[in-house]
Structure 1
Amino acid sequence: MSHDEYLGTRRFPGLDGLRALAATIVVFYHFAGPNFTWLSGWVGVYVFFVLSGFLITTLLLREQDRTGRISLRDFYLRRVFRILPPYLVILGGIVAFVLLRGEFLARDFPHALKYYLTFLNEFFPGSEGNGSDNFFSGSWTLGIEEKFYLVWPFLLVAVGIGAARRKFGLALAAMAVLLVLLPVSTGGWLLDGSKTAIYGSTVHYFILLSGCLLAILLHYRRSFAVLRPLTHPLAAIPIVAGFLLLHTNLDALWSETRENVLLLVGYAGVTMLLLVVLLSPGPARWLLSTAPMRFVGERSYSLYLLQGPVHFAVIQAVPQLAERSLLTALTVFVVDLGVSDLIHRWVEQPLIRTGKQLIARRRARAEEKAAPPAVEPRMEAAVG
């Protein structure tokens, strides 16, 4: 794959498939029972983090190349219309549900809403990753991503147009600072399972930045040339094998390693390599670009947020599924995907289009104001 081919690629379907894979293993890890701990679904969210950092930075860099600037206003408009509608619809539905059941106070929603409506989700005490406590605490990852979106675009703008070395240096410097802060935010290099330590760790921002760093490396011709050998189809074999080997053994390694938080740093690095493979033509990209994978991937945002309430609804309807098993996970996944499809069609897509239309109208007005006034032709009387 050449650099020009990469820059000319507007959509990366293999990454939709990777989203699908990450969301699916999260659901099955939470609800399929103890025989499926090898899925290491709890690190599926870190695949989302690397993807988010990569895609956001790629869009910003390409906008800068195309227009000579990065419009922070347009960026935040896109984020608002992409993130908020499904988030608020799902949260509103959960609130209505617990009110109808008379569980608003019992599930601590007056307290929880302060965190959920300000995107401080990861700081809500007692959060459960699968949303089993109040159906929405699995949204802790959104709190981290939204704070990241508030800061990173400003930093990119601050280093100026072009400036490949400065952007590269910015990402590396930020990652170094976060790495230094890691033992401070987690109370050491060993995470012992404390939810507060895990959710409040700077490792999440480090992993987001790893995706940003990859976007910068691929965007500029000289650094792309260094990574280009990884785009060869044969390079996919050791990279995919290494990713699967690390991922499926991460649960066991986590409890055996003294500095286990560094496993997440290594996992981020392997995920970066996997992204390079999935951007390039080859069997791995083909497999993750198939229609079923893209279908699930395009709905993965709602699929992830809905897992808690859908699981509760499923076991209320079929009490026999209360014990976590493969059948429970399959049922939750199918129902979750169905509801997510409705939200995708009736909430996500229409509001994303609305956001794009607002941005297009705003740009058109700006261009109209910037255009020089039309010069009216002068009419001179004929002399005769």
Structure 2
Amino acid sequence: MVLHHGWPAIAPAGYMGVDVFFVVSGYLITALLLREVDRTGRISLREFYVRRARRILPAAMAVLLAVSAATLAFAPYRDWAAYFREIVASTFYVENWRLAVDSQLPASADLESTPVQHFWSLSVEEQFYLAWPLLILLALWILRRRGHSLQRILWVVLGAVTSASFAWSLVLIGSDHNLAYFSTVARAWEFGVGGLLALLASSAPRFFAASGQGVRAAASWAGLALIVVPIATFQDTEAFPGVWVLLPVVGTLAIIWAGLPATRWSTAGVVGLRPVQWMGDVSYSLYLWHWPIFMFVPMITGVPSPPLLMVALVGVSLVVAALSKQFIEDHFRRRRGPVGSHPRVLAGALAFTLAGVVALGSVAPGIAADELACRSQNHRD
């Protein structure tokens, strides 16, 4: 995604990285929930949502605060209303629906970039986190009422939702590719197939162990090709997601299924490299910070960033991401420090941040409009 934002010609379909992220997220979250069900026979929504909040919200709120400040400092007055409208939408994790609505307005159909536009995918993920555990709880409720096998009920419930979402995405792409791209309903199946793979691993572990190491290594390389080749070659944005999204989705499923085969020529050698491991560790913070950095630097310099400066900005983004990972993500996720270790203090800090962002989003556009009106009046005089 960083390559796509910095050098679109190199990775014209870098946005497919989002699809990889959706599938992996669906697999990991479902596996986590299934392990809890196996261990306790239930799901604690409170514990699940607190863990997700610790993992996601602190760094995201820090970025939204920084973007709000940078907007006030560097963005033209004419952009304040659009920027803060999307900042507030991102704060409540409905940025994808904000963009979906804007894409239907003739004046906004082209969806000009804002520093938080990339929060649309995080919004979809958060909405998935809200709904997916409830589906597993529904399966547990059916189990207690009907007494069938939990695995069978989960296949029916999760499979039905996943299939319906995929069918809707195919219908929607024929009428409006923007809605198909941003709609949570049309994107849910990508999380769903990852979740179904986790369910398969839980209910039929032999399926994961049945094939030899060579077959799994070949599958992992084939999966990587299904991701990388489309990212580097796909051009028809109006046909995406559609059936084309199956390429990165199937590729991701193949890589997850293959795991880390113990052969000399498997992808395990690449995945195990220290730089690759480090990039994985900072990937969330890099995702959050890189786009605002790319957006605000041209506002500060007054000119589009040339190639050499873009390389430097990638370096800056990596440094900022590493600092964010160490001093924001880790503090809250590992419950370090006076704020990160106390849930009530964490909740209060997040609420204070949210209130500040919403207040700025309410007041700043009016200030900008008054300033623009004043300048226009002075120009006429």
- The one-letter code sitting in structure 1 at the alignment partner of 2:161 is A
Task: Give 5+ residue unaligned stretches, structure 1.
Answer: 1-25, 360-384
Normalization by structure 1: what TM-score? 0.74
- Aligned-residue offset at 1:280: 4.6
The alignment yields a C-alpha RMSD, in angstroms, of: 3.1
1:239–1:345 CA distance, 2 compared to 1 (3 A):
closer
Aligned residue in 2 for 1:200:
183
Aligned residue in 2 for 1:123:
97
CA distance in 2, matches of 1:234, 1:146: 35
1:48 corresponds, among 21, 32, 46, to: 21
The Cα offsets for residues 120-142 of structure 1, whole Å up to 9 and x where unpaired, read as 111224689xx972211111101
1:329–1:202 CA distance, 2 compared to 1 (3 A):
farther
- The one-letter code sitting in structure 1 at the alignment partner of 2:115 is F
Which segment is superposed worse, 109-118 or 243-252? 243-252
Count of equivalent residues: 322
SS of aligned partner of 1:236: helix
Are 1:146 and 2:120 matched, yes or no? no
CA distance in 2, matches of 1:172, 1:329: 43
1:232–1:165 CA distance, 2 compared to 1 (3 A):
farther
- Aligned-residue offset at 1:119: 0.9
Aligned residue in 1 for 2:79:
106
- Aligned-residue offset at 1:184: 4.0
Structure 1 residues 352-371: aligned runs within 5 Å: 352-354=333-335
Q: Is the 8 A contact 1:186 1:201 kept in 2?
A: no
Q: Is the 8 A contact 2:180 2:187 kept in 1?
A: no
The Cα offsets for residues 50-93 of structure 1, whole Å up to 9 and x where unpaired, read as 11111111111112222232211100000111111000000100
% same residue:
26
1:176 corresponds, among 152, 159, 163, to: 163
- The one-letter code sitting in structure 1 at the alignment partner of 2:87 is L
CA distance in 2, matches of 1:76, 1:264: 29
CA distance in 2, matches of 1:209, 1:31: 31
- The one-letter code sitting in structure 2 at the alignment partner of 1:84 is L
CA distance in 1, matches of 2:231, 2:311: 23
CA distance in 2, matches of 1:120, 1:256: 23
Normalization by structure 2: what TM-score? 0.75
Are 1:57 and 2:44 matched, yes or no? no
- Aligned-residue offset at 1:329: 4.5
Structure 1 residues 1-384: aligned runs within 5 Å: 26-34=1-9, 36-37=10-11, 40-101=13-74, 103=76, 106-107=79-80, 108-125=82-99, 133-160=113-140, 163-188=150-175, 194-200=177-183, 202-220=185-203, 223-230=204-211, 232-245=213-226, 247-249=228-230, 252=233, 255=236, 261-282=242-263, 283-315=266-298, 322-323=305-306, 325=307, 327-354=308-335
The Cα offsets for residues 165-191 of structure 1, whole Å up to 9 and x where unpaired, read as 221222211111112212443344xx7
1:329–1:168 CA distance, 2 compared to 1 (3 A):
farther
1:88–1:177 CA distance, 2 compared to 1 (3 A):
same
CA distance in 2, matches of 1:153, 1:170: 12
